[in-house]
Structure 1
Amino acid sequence: MTLQVIDPKQPFQSEYQPAINDLLKFLRGGLGENLHSVYLYGSVARKTAKPGKSNIDVIVVTKRSFSDTRTTLLNTIKWRFQQSFKHITEVSIKTVLSSEVATLESIFSWGFQLKHCSVCIYGEDLSECFGDYEPSWEIAKHWNMDVEDWLAVYRNRIARSSSAEEQIKAQKIIAKKLLRASHSLVMHRDKKWFDDPTECGKQFLRFHPEKTVDIERLNILLMDRAIPKRSVVGILDSFGDWLVKQYKKTEFRIG
């Protein structure tokens, strides 16, 4: 069973199309002929973004490095969005060379990202270099074997956060990571791929109903309110530790 791709013909939400047009204008003006292609991923690409809550996530592919002007260009774009598009909470931009994308080594990284999680909005669509993907342990482990590192980083960020806003941002990021990683753990059995974190948790419970309370607590962390730090750390330590061990067990078993 092959995984679904995001329909590139489905129009973007009207609240986001002006921002997408502005983004492309700045990238084309700043990079010129060095710009190879541009992709959206995340909720804006899936047309499920919520104004005032959703980021716009972008992948910029260039023909050559632009490390000398990268920081200035990206900061200018982010400043522009803060001024003109108040309903977009943040602009996240990843950059990569075209020569690094279309390679055998990138099958489970850039290949999967562009094929099943992104929409090309400008230039030559490199996702066409890759065939259809099937749910597999190779995909799951590539995207989630780093969950132990994420837990350490965000446990520390939450513990050290000095404001409710800072804590909420951190707890939402790690909750999304854990919910997605939970479903990826069973993806090779479920034969499906989900990006929405709530749906990931729901599907995971079909295989691990004993973890219902943990998934409910992670969903609470997605809300726009600060949870007592001790409770958040407790969730990360209990379910996070279990998840890390399960990934190691599965990798040992499947290889």
Structure 2
Amino acid sequence: MEHRGLDAYGYFEREGSLGQVQVEFRGLVAAARERIAEAYGHRLHSAYLYGSVPRGTARPGWSDLDLLIALHHEPSGEDRDTAEVLARGLDEDFAEIDGVGLLLHSKDQVLSEAERFDFGWFVACLCTPLLGADLAEHLPRYRPDSLLARETNGDLADLLPAWRAKAQSASTPEEYRKLSRLFSRRLVRTGFTLVMPRWGGWTSDLVESAEVFGQYYPERAAQMRAAASAALDPVEDPAVLRGYVEDLGPWLADEYTARHGTKTPRPPL
């Protein structure tokens, strides 16, 4: 039987581990651990890696480093400034990565009831512990069901107006590349979670996600494959962005709402 990221009981297996980090990125991960501890000290509850680096699929010089930091308290403006400095320093000091994404939240927010099937699931299933006590110990186990689909990506319709504004205001190749990466990643992941309960499993691989989606929506398969390609190698074509916000995005949002409903409103993270 195909594994599909689940254990024998149908629950998510946590993806990634420090043991899967490729040799090219081990110095970076060690530096991140040291710098996070130094920057936040006693304010830090825990820190995590996620994305391609702990999955062992990162591409030197192409992939970014994704970090999540959970503090004992709500992050202050100073805490967020520290995060920006930390991310910028890692990006500048390590040519192995192309950018650092850093999420900064309080442990109470991660463990809140409102975030149980979104951010909590993300930490418990997609994040690799790097520092501190693992918050996953306080979270339930998860299955790839419609509730999870709704609460993770059932807000695409709410994002589209801002996406359209960003696409219209972009004017440089670098801006187009940045937006094509951002939009395409979200569209592919949303396309995958749309069909996740029917497929009965999990993958973070964007190419595989697009292929799984295409099994259920063959008429949109080519568009999703192209989006997966742009997520990995961003494009500079503004027509691609227009296609996302005028065609694929609105269709996907409508189909998602029809099948899973809309994400429960909550305070912003």
Distance 1:10 1:68, change over 3 A: same
Distance 1:225 1:100, change over 3 A: closer
TM-score calculated relative to the size of structure 1: 0.90
- Alpha-carbon offset, residue 95 of structure 1: 1.5
The reply on whether 1:71 has 2:80 as its aligned counterpart is yes
Distance 1:11 1:235, change over 3 A: closer
* DSSP 3-state at the match of 2:70: strand
* DSSP 3-state at the match of 1:166: helix
- Please give the alpha-carbon distance, in whole angstroms, between the structure 1 residues aligned to 2:187 and 2:223: 10
| Other-structure match for 1:86 | 95
The answer to whether the 8 Å contact 2:188/2:206 transfers is yes
Distance 1:34 1:210, change over 3 A: same
TM-score calculated relative to the size of structure 2: 0.85
Aligned length in residues: 253
1:203-253 Cα shifts (integer Å, max 9, x gaps)? 0111111222322332343334312x2343134322212111111211359
The answer to whether the 8 Å contact 1:179/1:197 transfers is yes
| Other-structure match for 1:239 | 248
- Please give the alpha-carbon distance, in whole angstroms, between the structure 1 residues aligned to 2:23 and 2:14: 21
- Please give the alpha-carbon distance, in whole angstroms, between the structure 1 residues aligned to 2:69 and 2:41: 13
- Alpha-carbon offset, residue 160 of structure 1: 2.0
- Please give the alpha-carbon distance, in whole angstroms, between the structure 1 residues aligned to 2:14 and 2:29: 20
Distance 1:224 1:49, change over 3 A: same
| Other-structure match for 2:236 | 226
* DSSP 3-state at the match of 2:24: coil
* DSSP 3-state at the match of 1:192: coil
The answer to whether the 8 Å contact 1:217/1:235 transfers is no
Structure 1 stretches lacking a partner, 5+ long: none
- Alpha-carbon offset, residue 176 of structure 1: 1.1
| Other-structure match for 2:134 | 125
1:45-194 residue pairs with structure 2 within 5 A?
45-194=54-203
Distance 1:69 1:129, change over 3 A: same
Structure 2 stretches lacking a partner, 5+ long: 1-9, 265-269
The answer to whether the 8 Å contact 2:45/2:132 transfers is yes
The answer to whether the 8 Å contact 1:36/1:62 transfers is yes
The reply on whether 1:250 has 2:253 as its aligned counterpart is no
